[in-house]
Amino acid sequence: MSRRRWLALLVVAVVAGIVATAAAPARAAAAAAQIWAPFVLVMGLLLIGAAADADGLFVAAGGRLARLPGRPVLLYVAALGLVAAVTAVLNLDTAVVFVTPVLLAAAASRGIDAAAFLYGSVAMCNSASLILPGANLTNLMVLGHGHVSGATYALRMAPASAAAVLVTGAVRTALFHRSLRADAAVAGAGAGAPRLLLGPGVVATAGATLLVLLTRESALPVLVLGVAAVLVSRRLGRLGQRRLRAAVNVRPLLLLFLVALALGTLARSWSGPTHLLAGTAPWESAALAAVSAVLVNNLPAAALFSAHASADVRALLVGLDVGPNLAVTGALSALLWLRIARTAGQRPSPRTYSLVGLAVAPLSMAAAIVALRLFSLGRL
């Protein structure tokens, strides 16, 4: 998106935030209290991701992927597994920014069509963002009333997250099966795995994982850890200013924060969204959340639906996290994916994204809802 368009959207968001705050300052303060921590946490995870990238964590993982023996489909499945792991630990936006180029390079080194890896990366990021609370901003915003620990969240969402990840991987593999053929001229020509440096990014990644799992309010500690990791990495000469700025783009986060603030304030004056969810079945809640995410992005939608505590938010999270696979407007991850893909020399198509998403998202959400019904491990 051009700088002029970003500026125009930012001005609209600032005006909306100011109007909401002036019209209902107490409600705006309550909305801000609910949504500030998720944005701070994601900023910390993006900083940690930049430091981990400087340590060679993602490139080393991609290099080992490219050297896996066997058919290209096995490489593809392993690549989606890597995306899911990075998403769970370091947030889906971090995974999109740092892992997508690595997967494209791994595919190129084996002579495989990049399309499967390009579209599979962002889809798995969205589906795998159900695994841990810090994996998606929407999880933290919706859970703002409950103060649930990361371990408790992971346990109670395990059926849904496992189902969404497995179905997304299976359907994507089936859809792109024919394109997962290696060029005989370059098959097996993957370069040696790059060296992984044990540095501040790797250490901070492990620390952030423990903080998210073991603490209920990890936003500020993770941000401090991210800032420290970046400072040490820069001191070691591994992370340049340009590389850091490209990895940590504050503009979309600020834009979505202001929109979420405005909608969160509105929801505290208008109980329509809460009442609408109260009378729906789980599959209806997931579908409503998915459509809302596509229309206004899942972060503002989360602010709108979570202004008041809900009896059970698991179905809502399924729609907000997995639903954005329907269109690039659904999540920040898809907008970042468009930019990163173009930077890597690809030509991502929002139309193809949606066509494939129409085959994947409903099946993934349905599987997640069924898993919650069959293996209920408690509400959040």
Q: For 111-133, how does the pLDDT look when each residue is reduced to its tens digit (9 = 90+)?
A: 888 999 999 999 999 999 999 98
Q: Is residue 220 part of a domain?
A: yes
Q: Are 168 and 357 in contact (CB under 8 A)?
A: no
Q: Please state the domain count of the chain.
A: 1
For the chain, what is the radius of gyration of the CA atoms? 20
Specify whether the CB–CB gap between 192 and 170 falls below 8 A: no
Residue 174 identity: A
Note whether residue 7 is domain-resident: no
d(CA 102, CA 240): 19
Determine the structural domain holding residue 71 and report its residue range: 25-374
Q: Where are the beta strands (DSSP E) in the chain?
A: none
The answer to the question of residue 10 being in a domain is: no
- What integer best gives the mean pLDDT of the chain? 84
Determine, yes or no, domain membership for 309.
Answer: yes
Does this model's pTM top 0.85? My answer is no
Cβ neighbours of 351 (radius 10 Å): 10
Q: pLDDT for 259-299, tens place per residue?
A: 778 877 877 776 666 667 777 888 899 999 999 999 988 88
Both tokens assigned to 193: 């795995």
Tens-place pLDDT, residues 21-55: 666 778 778 778 777 888 888 889 889 989 998 88
Residue 12 pLDDT > 70: no
- Amino acid identity for residue 280 in this structure: T
The answer to whether residue 16 is domain-embedded is no
* 209: helix, strand or coil: helix
Q: How far apart are CA 42 and CA 71, in angstroms?
A: 36
Of 78, 83, 73, 170, the residue nearest 126 (C-alpha)? 83
In the chain, pLDDT over 70 holds for what percent of residues? 85
What does the pLDDT average to over 184-210?
71
Residue 15 lies in a domain: no
Would you say 98 and 246 are in contact if contact means Cβ atoms under 8 Å apart? no
For residue 254, tell me if it sits in a domain: yes
Three-state SS string over 270-281 comes to CCHHHHHHHCCC
Q: Is 379 a domain residue? A: no
